[in-house]
Amino acid sequence: RLDSNALLCDCDLMWLAELLKSYAEQGSIQTAATCEAPPELHGRSIATLTAQDFNCERPRITSEPQDVDVLLGNTVYFTCRAEGNPKPAIIWLHNNNEIDMKDDSRLNLLQDGTLMIQNTKESDKGVYQCMAKNIAGEVKTQEAVLRYFGTPSKPTFVIQPHNTEVLIGESVTLECGVSGHPHPRISWTLGTGSPLPQDARFAITSSGGLFIQNVTFSDQGQYNCNASNVEGSIQATARIIVQDSPRFVLIPTDQTVTEGQSVDFPCSAEGHPPPVITWTRAAGGPLPTDRRHSILSTGTLRVLRVALHDQGQYECHAISAIGVKTLPVQLSVTPRVIPVFLHPPQDVVAETGQDVAITCSAQGDPRPTITWVKEGIQITESGKFHISQDGTLSIQDLGVADQGRYECIARNPFGFTSSTMQLTITATDVGRSGDTFVATSLREAISSVDHAINSTRTELFSKRPKTPNDLLALFRYPRDPYTIETARAGEIFERTLQLIQEHVQQGLIVDMNVTGYRYNDLVSPHYLTMIANLSGCSAHRRTPNCSDICFHQKYRTHDGSCNNLQHPMWGASLTAFQRLLKPAYQNGFNLPRGFSLAEDARDLPLPLPRLVSTAMVGTETITPDDQFTHMLMQWGQFLDHDMDQTVAAISMSRFSDGAPCSQVCSNDPPCFSVMVPANDPRVRNGRCMFFVRSSPVCGSGMTSLLMNSVYAREQINHLTSYIDASNVYGSTEQESRELRDLSGQQGLLKRGQVVPGSGKHLLPFAVGPPTECMRDENESPVPCFLAGDHRANEQLGLTAMHTLWFREHNRIATQLSALNPHWDGDLLYHEARKIVGAQMQHISYAQWLPKVLGEAGMKMLGEYKGYDPNVNAGILNAFATAAFRFGHTLINPILYRLNETFQPIHQGHIPLHKAFFSPFRITQEGGIDPLLRGLFGVAGKMRVPSELLNMELTEKLFSMAHSVSLDLAAINIQRGRDHGIPPYNDFRVFCNLSSAQEFEDLRNEIKNLEIREKLRSLYGTTKNIDLFPALMVEDLVPGTRVGPTLMCLLTTQFRRLRDGDRFWYENPGVFTPAQLTQIRQTSLARVICDNSDHIQQLQSDVFRVASYPQGMVGCEEIPMVDLRLWQDCCDDCQTRGQFRALSQRFRGKRSPGFSYPEENPAK
């Protein structure tokens, strides 16, 4: 306690007040000290007093030190006097450091504050400053410099410049004080060493500092203070950091969006230091925490799926240490408007041969696009159908085929609305101008078509193929009589109509070309029926007998019929391809787009397919796929040959005069030559490449036997659509019988020669006339191999796959026979066939498709939910003709052939053009193993949008001496037009991508501007782009090997193939659960282990790139399918397993329409 002392509260006691205050704050001591004097403070607690109460006074300087020049060893005095209350203490600084007098006896502080330095030394040089300090504050004098004369000395820094921050537009000084003798000269340079800018804003102060006024950003950087005299020079560096308050560079603008859309408000600012961007609602309210509002790293505010309550003001703030700037912005939200019809379509009744326009208009925001659908198939622009801007559907030349329900769909991003109408066609008995010419035209058509077919057959089968054209023709020519009869009927039907039209035109003065082809208006309906009957159309409509349910519940037919018991012909061989969109023919009936250049003047002509190929498709460069092997391509081709093959033309000669298509370069049916542009980079000696149209199927889609209407041309799929291993077993009963070894009761397929060393068999050789495999007398006279698909010899990799799977069937049948000795040959054959088909399905969907479609595509494909009898598993025309041909972009130009250590075999690798139709290379050059190792041991070709088909395919397809090689890309484009495949844009609409009005609208799917510009220069309008090249140049969806439209088409097809197949391997009841578990053990690696000649080392997933030997495993490590689960466990097995009784009964019940005619093809 201090209150017993009489305290005089003057300035000398202020320390006590400070002490007591600090104690009180810490709570460590309670005091009761009060003042006694002076009278005005009497009784006050000392802890409550302030500096003013104590009557303290800050120090003030009354006498300042001055610069001094001195000789070494002399004494120097620096004076300093100060006043204040309490009396201030004097402290001296030397070069900004406090001087401690105790350290050096030469230094003394005199009573009045003067600093005395005796016996001066070199180290005493520099800047001196006096500081006066008391409890009320402190103050410094000006700086004084101690210099030496007489003795020369190098410059030394008294004050060094420091890094300094300055706001833009303000002034800054970099101090620089130096001593030395003689007195050093100070100069300033930029950090780079170059002189200061010639700018009035820069000046050097009297003390040597650098002064810059009105600072700009360009002033930021390093500056050097250089001091020199005769004794030497020194340099010091400092930075000027120019700071600036935030300034907006990207200013957000008010936006109006429709509810449900997303919106971005870009906002960015600059400044020094760089500002941070934040966003708030108006008046600083926080953004909602609903995950729809986010601030991107660029500063942009993104609002996803905008809701009506998001409307209002938002503020963008740019914040830095220097300050904050704010900008307001307004978001307005308009409610979404789904389309509504203004004029829904009305039912219409019209007569055959007329034209009709059906109105359908809708409004919505954004404005809806209108599409039309007939019975589930989207209508596309063609010579028959036209959809105007306002949605009106026009149909030309009505026939009974056009009758039915039409649906008008108005769609915008918020939804769609649809309305249907019925179009009824009445057939009138009015005679038509062509009726009188029916009989003569039909006779002429039959004779000219048969003449052309016969000359083709003589030409093809009487000699070795001489040119790539012969090779392609022979390779694709249908061999069985039923196919030829079907195709012949279609050709005669179309040819008859064409001849009638020509006859009518000759008798008219008016040129009918103006009105286009009007076949329904040309001939009366009952005459159309007559033409259909006499041409053979009506006779070739199969109605299979599916009554033997014991067989059909368990096994597939070879031709795919009776899979769907309600629609027995769905997916069957020799039926028309399916359509997603109505075909786009130039005349709405059968002419390809771009068939004649005298097209509708409004449209731009289509580019020549060969020109598109050379400009966009052909490539010499190859980018290897870093993930997948060449087997990815090879499985794709093998799988494709299980699903589709278009029936080619049965005549390679013109119907009009029998001249061969390969020689005439014309578009007379069935020729449709690929014209070669004038300045083609390769083809100099020919005007065209050989191309013949695919055979038509007459009256496709027809339900009645009366063919009283004209149907758009459809093409025929030679194979069953289902993934059923038809490439091993054939697609007709007749083919399957030719392939089976019926001599024993083992259920085997016919075998060819034995491979020495492995004891395994090659495929059997085909018998019959000379084939495409014996084209060159100089090479070995080895005929083609015989397999379930006659394209097996097309190239050696494919032949190797066929060999593997034919062996796999025989391996399984032999094992089943050992497990079930009581089974007869038919039962063994069908059970083995069923397992092989399931293995192919499993490999395709569980191991191959996920690599092609990636995670995104497999999600789009969806899980398997069981068999759906309402799904037609037929192959889509666009899939066979364009989409699945994407595999051509994966083909390497070389087939690699590797030995056991994955080194080239001594015969070497083989360029692709030498691997076409060359079975002798398997019999004489090491068998299938080197080829298989070349498929799984080598990286595949990556599809890069600028590297599509290798030149081996575009310039050397089926190459032979002295003739024009074919171009696969040009053929693909021409085939798309031949099949009436609608343009790319229509498929974009089908796949829910935007409709591209301008080439710029393709930028999301085709990012490469150069490719878009190529498309523009070739096609001129987005409406014309062919499907195949567009699918090939789309950017790959990340993690896949396909673009968005291609992904949509592939998933659509593969979903239908799975869900519409009653015998799909995962469909409950097809296999027992235990058998299904075994089927799921299947891998292509295991099939190779079991059926190659000697392969023992490979990767467990042969589609993935792996290196030898570390990426490989031994065959013993790869899981097998345990066939013991197919063993009969029963007492009466001996009688139960006789399949023959079942087979005989099954064969006896078959209808004539279901069996193929055995008679010879028409002469």
Q: For 124-145, write each residue's pLDDT tens digit.
A: 888 999 999 988 889 999 989 8
Residues of the chain within CATH 2.60.40.10 domain(s) are 57-148, 153-242, 252-332, 337-426
Q: What percent of the chain has pLDDT over 70?
A: 90
Strands annotated E in 890-1011: 894-895, 910-911, 939-941, 949-950
Mean pLDDT of 174-186: 85
CA distance 451 to 468: 24
Q: Report which residue type is found at 1058.
A: R
The mean pLDDT of 290-308, rounded to a whole number, is 91
CATH of domain 57-148: 2.60.40.10
Catalytic residue among 641, 790, 802, 830: 641
Distance CA 676, CA 947 (A): 22
Instruction: Check residue 860 and give its pLDDT.
Output: 96
Q: What is the pLDDT of residue 956?
A: 60
User: Which of 40-49, 836-845, 871-880, 946-955 is predicted with the least confidence, judged by mean pLDDT?
Assistant: 946-955
Q: Which of 32-41, 216-225, 487-496 has the lowest mean pLDDT?
A: 32-41
How far apart are alpha carbons 694 and 651 in whole angstroms?
10
Known catalytic residue: 567? no
Q: What is the reported pLDDT for 507? A: 66
pLDDT at residue 158 above 90? Answer: no
Distance CA 1039, CA 857 (A): 9
Domain 337-426 CATH assignment equals 2.60.40.10? yes
**Per CATH, the architecture of 153-242 is what?**
Sandwich (2.60)
Q: Can you give the length of the chain in residues?
A: 1163
Query: CA 688 from chain center: how many Å?
Result: 34
Weakest mean pLDDT among 383-392, 654-663, 1136-1145: 1136-1145
Domain 797-1116, CATH: 1.10.640.10
pLDDT at 639: 97
More reliable by pLDDT, 1139 or 9 = 9
Lowest mean pLDDT among 26-30, 396-400, 435-439: 26-30
Q: Is the CA virtual torsion 999, 1003, 1004, 1010 positive or negative?
A: positive
Q: What CA–CA distance (Å, rounded) separates 685 from 695?
A: 29
| Beta-bridge mates of residue 624 | 941
Mean pLDDT for the stretch of residues 491-514: 72
Are the beta carbons of 478 and 648 closer than 8 angstroms?
yes
pLDDT at residue 1136, rounded to an integer: 58
**Choice between 1124 and 891, residue whose per-residue pLDDT is larger:** 1124
For residue 34, the 8-state DSSP code is B
Q: Which residues pair with 966 in a beta bridge?
A: 957
Per-residue pLDDT at 336: 79
Q: Is 1021 exposed, middle or buried (0-12, 13-18, 19+ CB in 10 A)?
A: middle
According to the model, what pLDDT value does residue 1133 have? 59
Instruction: Determine the Cα–Cα distance for residues 56 and 37; give it in Å rounded to an integer.
Output: 15
pLDDT at 428 > cutoff 80: no
SS3 59: strand
pLDDT digits (tens, 9 = 90+) for 954-1007: 666 555 444 556 778 899 999 999 999 999 999 999 998 888 889 999 999 999
Structural domain 252-332, CATH architecture: Sandwich (2.60)
Mean pLDDT of all residues in 774-795: 80
Task: Report whether the peptide linkage leading into residue 161 is cis, meaning its omega lies within 30 degrees of zero.
Answer: no
Q: Cα separation of 566 and 556, whole Å?
A: 15
Specify the pLDDT at position 1157.
39
pLDDT average, residue stretch 548-555: 93
Tell me which of 275-279, 748-752, 1062-1066, 1138-1142 is least confident: 1138-1142
Q: Could you identify the residue written with the tokens 């002064």?
A: 211
More confident residue, 915 or 798: 798
Range of lowest pLDDT (12-26, 111-125, 1002-1016): 12-26
Binding annotation for heme b: 888
pLDDT higher than threshold 90 for residue 1067: yes
pTM here is: 0.70
Which ranges in the chain are annotated with CATH 1.10.640.10? Answer: 797-1116
